[in-house]
C-alpha cells in the first residue's frame, strides 16, 4: 500500500513537470498552480522552482502573480529568491526587487554572486543612485567585486547612473578582456550624450558584439544624428530586430516618416521578422504623416504576425492612427475588438470621437467607461467637454466640469477652462463666458480671449469684442486675425468708424493681414495638439 502511494505521488510529480512544456500563457500557468495545490503545493521543490521561474521571468507581465505565489512557499531556497529578484528587476515595477531583497535580509538568507547584480539592475532602471551605491558596498562586503557578472553590472550602473570615473576604474584590468564590460561602458557614455567618448571606446574594442553596435547606433539616433547612425548601420556585420528598430525609430523621431517606412521594407526584404516595437514605430510614422493606406497595410501585417490578441500598446496605437487619419469608424472597430484596455485606450477613442464631431457617441462611451469602473483623468474630460461644446450640451458640460473636480479630484487646467469658454461662447452665452473667465483660478491665455472674441463676432457683441481684443493686445500677441475679427464685429453693426480705427491700429503696430483659419478651427487645433502631445505621456 505504501509503495503504491509513493508510486502514485511520483507519477503525479512527473506529470506536473511534463506540463511545463505546454505552459504558453498565464492561464495555463494558473492551471498548473491549481494541480500543484491538489498534490501538495510545497511538496515538490523542483516544481516550485519552475513555477516561480515561469511566473516571474518567462511571463514577466505576471510579476504580481509571481509575488503572490512566492508568499505561499514555506521555505524558498536561494534560487527562488534570486529568480524573484531577476523577474522583479526586469518587470515594469523594478522597485519590487528592492522589496524582495529587504525580506531576504530579514530572513537572514545569505546571498550569492547572482543576487546583487539583479538588485543593481533594478537600481539602474530606476536611476536610484543612493540605493545602487549601497548595493555596491554590499558587493564589496561579500567579496563579489571580482566576479565577472557583478563587476559588469557595476560598470553599467556607474556608467549610466553613478560616477562614470568609477565605471572607468572598474573597467581597467581584467575587464578589458570582456566584451560585455566594453559594451557597458560604451552604453554609459552614449546614454550621457558623450558620443565622442563612446565612439572612441567602440573603435578601440578588440571584439565588437552586436550589443555594442546597437548601443552606438541607438546613441546617434537619440541625438538625431541619423547620418552617423546610418553609417554604422550599413557596416554592421550582423543585424537583429533591435538594430532595425533603432533606425526606424530614429527616422520617425526626426520626422522622416517615409524613410522609416522604406527602412521597414528593407527589413522585410532582409528576412528580419518585426516585433511589436517595430509596429509601434511604424504606426507612429503613419499617424504623424496621415498615411491611412500604409497604416491599413501595417494593421494587416500585425494580424498576419499571428500575435493573437492585440496588446494594449498596439491596440492604442492602431486606434490613434485610424482616428487621426480620419477613419473614426475603423478606430471604433479596433477599440471595441480590444480584449484589454487601459485609461489611454478610452482617452484616445473619446478624443477621436469628440474632434470628429461624434459628440453623442463620445459622451455615451464616456458613460460606458465610468460604468466599467475605469477612472477618467484630465485628458478624458478634455474630450468630453469638447463633445459637449460641439453638441451644444451646455448643461451636461457644466455637470461634467463640476464632476471632474468633485467626483475625481482632478485639478482643472487651462484646456478645461478653454473648453468651457468655447462651449458657452458657441451657445451664445457671452456674458456667462465672460463671467466664467473672471472666476478662473488660472490667468486666461490668448486662446481663451480669442475664443471669446470669435464668439463676439458671430453674435455682433462690440462691447465684449473690444474688451477681448484689448486683453489679447496686453498679452503681446500681434495676430492679424484678432484685428480682423474685431473689424468684422464693427462691420456687422455698420460701425465703419470702428473698422477704420482697427485698420489704423494695425498699421500703427505694423501688423499685416495674413491668410488664416477661422477662430473655431484655431481653437480646435490647439486642443487637438494638447491631446496628441499628452496622451502618450499617460500611456
Share of the chain above pLDDT 90, in %: 56
Q: Which is more confident, 447 or 81?
A: 81
Give the model's confidence band at 536: pLDDT under 50 very low, under 70 low, under 90 confident, else very high. very low
pLDDT digits (tens, 9 = 90+) for 467-517: 887 887 777 655 555 555 555 565 555 555 554 555 555 555 544 444 443
Low-confidence winner among 8-22, 169-183, 405-419 (lowest mean pLDDT): 8-22
511: left (phi over 0), alpha (psi -120 to 50) or beta: beta
Give the model's confidence band at 453: pLDDT under 50 very low, under 70 low, under 90 confident, else very high. confident
* 311 lies in some domain: yes
Rounded CA-CA distance 504/530 in Å is 35
What is the pLDDT, as a whole number, of residue 518?
A: 36
Considering only CA atoms, give the Rg of the chain: 30
* 221 lies in some domain: no
What is the pLDDT, as a whole number, of residue 47?
A: 78
Share of the chain above pLDDT 70, in %: 79
What is the pLDDT, as a whole number, of residue 55?
A: 82
Rounded CA-CA distance 180/509 in Å is 64
* 249 lies in some domain: yes
What is the pLDDT, as a whole number, of residue 530?
A: 44
In whole numbers, what is the pLDDT of the chain averaged over residues? 83
What is the pLDDT, as a whole number, of residue 505?
A: 54
Rounded CA-CA distance 310/301 in Å is 12
What is the pLDDT, as a whole number, of residue 98?
A: 94
Buried b (16+ CB within 10 A) or exposed e, 404-421: beeeeebebebbbbbbbb
* 253 lies in some domain: yes
What is the pLDDT, as a whole number, of residue 88?
A: 94
pLDDT at 32 over 80: no
pLDDT at 445 over 70: yes
* 492 lies in some domain: no
CA end-to-end span of the chain: 60
Q: Which is more confident, 18 or 271?
A: 271
CB-based contacts of 163-168 (< 8 A; 24+ apart in sequence): 164/188, 164/189, 164/192
Rounded CA-CA distance 84/63 in Å is 9
- Is the distance from CB of 179 to CB of 212 less than 8 angstroms? yes
CA separation, residue 329 to residues 31, 54, 296, 303, 334 (Å): 39, 40, 13, 19, 9
* 401 lies in some domain: no
Give the model's confidence band at 42: pLDDT under 50 very low, under 70 low, under 90 confident, else very high. low
Collapsing DSSP to helix, strand or coil, 431 comes out as helix
Residues contacting residue 156 through CB under 8 Å, at least 6 positions apart: 121, 124, 167, 184, 187, 188
Buried b (16+ CB within 10 A) or exposed e, 478-502: ebebbbbbbbbbbebeeeeebbeeb
* 43 lies in some domain: no
DSSP for 118-176 reads: HHHHHHHHHT-HHHHHHHHHHHHHTT-TTSHHHHHHHHHHHHHTS-HHHHHHHHSGGGG
Give the model's confidence band at 110: pLDDT under 50 very low, under 70 low, under 90 confident, else very high. very high
pLDDT digits (tens, 9 = 90+) for 186-210: 999 998 889 999 999 999 998 899 9
Q: Which is more confident, 534 or 223?
A: 223
Which H or E element spans position 38? helix 26-38
Overall domain count for the chain: 1
Rounded CA-CA distance 408/209 in Å is 51
Collapsing DSSP to helix, strand or coil, 376 comes out as coil
Domain residues for 302? Answer: 239-340
What is the pLDDT, as a whole number, of residue 192?
A: 87
Rounded average pLDDT over 161-183: 84
- Is the distance from CB of 502 to CB of 470 less than 8 angstroms? no
pLDDT at 423 over 50: yes
Rounded CA-CA distance 537/539 in Å is 6
Give the model's confidence band at 58: pLDDT under 50 very low, under 70 low, under 90 confident, else very high. confident
Rounded CA-CA distance 125/92 in Å is 10
Query: On the CB side of 17, how many CA atoms lie within 13 Å of its CA?
Result: 11
Q: Is 443 exposed, middle or buried (0-12, 13-18, 19+ CB in 10 A)?
A: exposed
Give the model's confidence band at 417: pLDDT under 50 very low, under 70 low, under 90 confident, else very high. very high
pLDDT at 143 over 80: yes
CA angle 235, 239, 245 (to 5 degrees): 110
Q: Is 0.75 topped by the overall pTM? A: no
What is the pLDDT, as a whole number, of residue 46?
A: 82
CA angle 224, 226, 230 (to 5 degrees): 155
Low-confidence winner among 59-63, 219-223, 301-305, 345-349 (lowest mean pLDDT): 59-63
pLDDT at 281 over 80: yes
DSSP for 309-347 reads: SPPHHHHHHHHHHHHHTT-HHHHHHHHHH-SS--HHHHH
Rounded average pLDDT over 117-145: 94
Rounded average pLDDT over 85-99: 93
* 289 lies in some domain: yes
Amino acid at each position: 500500500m505504501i509503495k503504491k502511494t509513493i508510486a502514485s505521488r511520483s507519477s503525479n510529480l512527473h506529470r506536473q513537470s511534463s506540463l511545463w512544456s505546454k505552459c504558453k500563457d498565464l492561464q495555463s500557468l494558473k492551471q498548473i498552480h491549481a494541480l500543484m495545490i491538489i498534490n501538495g503545493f510545497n511538496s515538490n521543490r523542483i516544481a516550485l522552482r519552475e513555477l516561480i521561474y515561469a511566473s516571474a521571468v518567462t511571463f514577466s507581465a505576471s510579476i504580481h502573480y509571481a509575488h503572490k505565489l512566492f508568499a505561499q512557499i514555506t521555505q524558498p531556497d536561494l534560487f527562488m529568491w534570486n529568480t524573484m529578484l531577476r523577474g522583479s528587476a526586469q518587470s515594469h515595477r523594478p522597485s519590487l526587487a528592492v522589496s524582495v531583497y529587504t525580506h531576504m535580509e530579514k530572513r537572514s538568507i545569505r546571498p550569492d554572486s547572482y543576487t546583487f547584480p539583479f538588485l543593481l539592475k533594478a537600481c539602474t532602471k530606476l536611476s536610484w543612485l543612493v540605493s545602487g551605491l549601497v548595493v555596491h558596498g554590499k558587493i564589496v562586503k561579500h567579496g563579489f567585486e571580482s566576479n565577472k557578472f557583478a563587476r559588469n553590472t557595476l560598470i553599467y550602473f556607474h556608467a549610466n547612473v553613478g560616477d562614470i570615473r568609477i565605471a572607468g576604474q572598474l573597467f581597467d584590468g581584467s575587464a578589458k578582456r570582456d566584451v560585455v564590460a566594453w559594451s557597458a561602458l560604451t552604453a554609459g557614455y552614449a546614454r550621457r550624450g558623450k558620443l565622442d567618448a563612446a565612439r572612441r571606446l567602440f573603435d578601440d574594442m578588440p571584439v565588437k558584439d552586436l550589443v555594442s553596435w546597437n548601443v552606438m547606433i541607438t546613441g546617434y539616433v537619440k541625438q538625431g544624428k541619423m547620418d552617423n547612425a546610418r553609417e554604422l548601420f550599413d557596416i554592421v556585420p550582423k543585424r537583429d530586430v533591435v538594430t532595425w528598430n533603432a533606425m526606424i525609430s530614429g527616422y520617425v523621431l526626426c520626422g522622416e516618416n517615409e524613410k522609416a517606412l522604406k527602412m521597414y521594407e528593407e527589413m522585410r526584404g532582409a528576412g528580419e521578422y518585426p516585433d511589436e516595437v517595430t509596429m509601434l514605430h511604424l504606426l507612429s510614422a503613419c499617424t504623424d504623416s496621415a498615411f491611412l493606406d500604409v497604416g491599413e497595410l501595417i494593421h494587416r501585417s500585425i494580424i498576419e504576425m499571428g500575435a493573437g490578441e492585440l496588446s494594449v500598446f498596439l491596440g492604442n496605437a492602431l486606434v490613434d492612427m485610424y482616428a487621426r487619419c480620419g477613419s473614426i469608424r475603423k478606430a471604433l472597430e479596433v477599440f471595441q475588438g480590444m480584449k484589454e484596455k487601459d485609461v489611454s485606450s478610452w482617452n484616445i477613442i473619446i478624443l477621436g470621437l469628440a474632434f470628429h464631431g461624434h459628440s453623442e457617441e463620445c459622451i455615451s462611451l464616456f458613460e460606458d467607461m465610468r460604468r466599467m469602473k475605469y477612472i477618467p483623468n484630465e485628458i478624458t474630460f478634455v474630450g468630453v467637454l469638447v463633445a459637449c461644446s460641439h453638441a451644444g450640451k451646455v448643461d451636461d458640460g457644466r455637470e461634467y466640469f463640476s464632476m471632474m473636480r468633485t467626483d475625481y479630484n482632478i485639478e482643472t487646467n487651462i484646456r478645461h477652462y478653454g473648453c468651457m469658454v468655447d462651449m458657452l461662447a458657441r451657445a451664445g452665452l457671452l456674458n456667462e463666458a465672460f463671467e466664467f473667465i473672471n472666476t478662473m483660478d488660472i490667468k486666461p491665455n490668448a486662446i481663451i480671449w480669442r475664443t471669446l472674441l470669435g464668439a463676439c463676432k458671430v453674435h455682433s457683441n462690440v462691447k465684449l469684442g473690444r474688451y477681448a481684443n484689448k486683453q489679447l493686445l496686453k498679452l503681446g500677441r500681434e495676430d492679424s486675425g484678432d484685428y480682423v475679427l474685431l473689424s468684422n464685429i464693427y462691420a456687422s453693426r455698420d460701425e465703419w468708424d470702428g473698422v477704420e480705427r482697427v485698420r489704423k491700429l494695425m498699421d500703427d503696430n505694423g501688423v499685416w493681414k495674413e491668410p488664416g483659419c477661422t477662430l473655431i478651427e484655431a481653437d480646435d487645433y490647439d486642443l487637438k495638439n494638447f491631446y496628441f502631445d499628452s496622451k502618450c505621456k499617460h500611456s
